[in-house]
Structure formats: structure tokens, C-alpha cells
């Protein structure tokens, strides 16, 4: 198969398997999505979705969030892990949103990545899922699968994102990155990977794995 044929196979297979792609993290607006994505670092979406209702019941906007202390935030989000860093990030970014952006989440990669505890991947998720701006957030699932499928060299997530954006049509990025995540969780896990069930790997994957 040519690389383009492989890309087309991936697109068609994922569209058949996941025609609908609901956002995995529960949210109601850009701010609650931003906080949920920040909490998801090294934590499962399922766990984040059990913690955010507790946090958002007290503060679902930056104005209420800064009324809480960092310690109060940390005590609520502790089950998500990395709570000292995440609680400081949530408190700090909430202040910046109020001081610089009228309490609103900016629709800009540059401004998002200036916020505490917000990296490029988090900014990409917010831009794509909250504002429908084309982006291709690369998490561990996408990084792993793109390498298994022979579509990137697996050197780092930066290269994987460049390769994904180069190979896949821009109009598909926002949906496709979610489809790959869903596929990775169901068919191509990091642990307990059953190659026989991995439809895409068996068709186009690296034979040396």
C-alpha cells in the first residue's frame, strides 16, 4: 500500500467505527473544558469526569474559582493526581483570564499557552473542541498509534503532530483525533494489546513491532 492508501484506509475505518465523536471530558463551556483538560494530564477521562462535578459545583467560572484557595482546589482535585501543580495552575489561570481576558477563555493558541499549566496539547484540545478551530492534539494514544501504523517515526509528540497534520486533511483533524483516541482505547491499547483485534495495525502496521 502507498502511504496515501494507508491514510485513506485509516480515515475510512475510523469513520465506520466512530461516526459520532462526543467529547470524552464532560464540560458546558470553554472554561470548564479547559479545566477538565488540565486535570486530565496523567489521569483518565473517567476519573476527571467524577471530580469535575465536585469542583464545578463550587466554581464553574474564573470569578468563583479565585474565591477559593489553592489548598481548597487541591483537596477537591487530589484524586486526579499532580494536585499541587494543577491547583496552582487552575487558580493562576483563572486570575489571568479575569485580569487580561475579561474572564473569558481566549480563542488563541498564543494566549492559551501563556496560561499556567497549559501546554500545546491542552491548548489544541480547547481550540478544537471548544472553538472548532482545526487542531490535532496528540496524546499518548495518538502518539502510539501513529507509530504502530507506520505514519510517524515515533521520536516525539511534536513530530507526530507534524506528521498527522501533513498526512490527514485539515477539515478532518478535529474529528479524527477523537476517533484515533477511541480506537486506541478499544483496539490498540498500550498494555494488553490484542493484535488480532487491531484492524488497522493488521492492514497497515509496522511488521517489526
Grid coordinates of 201: 495495525
Catalytic residue among 6, 86, 121, 163: 121
- Closest by CA to 18, choosing from 202, 175, 209, is 175
Backbone dihedral region of 103: left (phi > 0), alpha (psi from -120 to 50 degrees) or beta?
A: left
Quote the radius of gyration of the chain (alpha carbons, Å).
18
Asked if 77 contacts 55 with a C-beta cutoff of 8 angstroms, the reply is yes
Helix, coil or strand: residue 19: coil
**139 belongs to the catalytic site:** yes
Query: How would you label 35-72 residue by residue, b for 16+ Cβ within 10 Å and e otherwise?
Result: bbbbbbbebebeebbebbeebbeebbbbeebbebeeeb
Catalytic residue among 26, 88, 139, 175: 139
H helix or E strand, kind and range, residue 46: helix 45-58
**45 belongs to the catalytic site:** no
Can you tell me the distance from the alpha carbon of 43 to that of 68, in angstroms, rounded to the nearest whole number?
23
Task: Name the residues annotated as catalytic.
Answer: 121, 139
Amino acid at each position: 500500500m502507498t502511504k496515501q492508501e494507508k491514510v485513506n484506509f485509516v480515515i475510512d475505518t475510523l469513520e465506520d467505527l466512530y461516526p459520532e465523536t462526543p467529547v470524552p471530558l464532560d464540560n458546558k463551556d470553554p472554561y470548564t473544558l479547559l479545566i477538565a483538560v488540565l486535570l486530565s494530564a496523567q489521569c483518565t477521562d473517567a476519573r476527571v469526569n467524577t471530580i469535575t462535578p465536585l469542583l464545578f459545583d463550587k466554581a464553574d467560572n474564573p470569578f468563583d474559582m479565585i474565591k477559593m484557595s489553592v489548598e481548597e482546589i487541591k483537596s477537591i482535585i487530589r484524586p486526579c493526581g499532580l494536585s499541587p501543580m494543577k491547583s496552582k495552575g487552575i487558580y493562576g489561570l483563572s486570575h489571568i483570564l479575569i485580569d487580561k481576558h475579561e474572564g473569558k477563555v481566549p480563542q488563541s493558541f498564543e494566549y492559551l499557552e501563556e496560561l499556567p499549566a497549559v501546554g500545546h496539547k491542552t491548548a489544541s484540545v480547547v481550540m478544537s473542541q471548544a472553538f472548532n478551530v482545526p487542531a490535532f492534539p496528540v496524546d499518548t494514544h495518538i502518539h502510539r498509534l501513529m507509530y504502530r501504523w507506520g505514519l510517524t517515526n515515533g521520536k516525539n509528540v511534536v513530530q507526530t503532530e507534524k506528521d498527522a497534520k501533513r498526512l490527514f486533511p485539515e477539515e478532518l483533524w478535529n474529528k479524527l483525533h477523537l476517533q484515533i483516541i477511541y480506537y486506541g482505547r478499544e483496539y490498540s491499547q498500550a498494555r494488553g494489546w490484542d493484535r488480532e483485534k487491531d484492524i488497522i495495525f493488521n492492514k497497515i502496521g509496522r511488521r517489526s513491532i
